[in-house]
Amino acid sequence: MGYASVSAMIAAELQSWRFAAGKRSFAQRGDILAFNQAGEPALALVSLDGAYARGVGERGLCMLPVERAVTAWRV
């Protein structure tokens, strides 16, 4: 199955698992967020404090502000 972009693949796969897309402002701990990191898509999970998402970067675990997310999925 081909996709137009990595972002399109991520959205299609999460939708196939029945995760509902929503606004990042409503994201809660454990929800999946998509970010645009230096022009590349990245995924992270909302942390317990709800203000940051944690993901894996080139130098290990990283924290990204939730307000920088472009899309959110309810888990």
Q: Where do the domains of the chain lie, and which CATH numbers do they carry?
A: 6-74 (3.90.1720.10)
Q: Which residues contact 12 (CB under 8 A, 6 or more apart)?
A: 3
Indicate the burial class of 69 (C-beta count within 10 angstroms; 0-12, 13-18, 19 or more). Answer: buried
pTM tops 0.75, yes or no: yes
Task: Give pLDDT, residue 18.
Answer: 87
In order along its 75 residues, the chain shows pLDDT tens digits of 688 887 788 888 888 888 888 888 889 999 999 998 888 888 999 999 999 999 988 888 999 999 999 999 988
| pLDDT in the model for residue 1 | 62
pLDDT of residue 31: 93
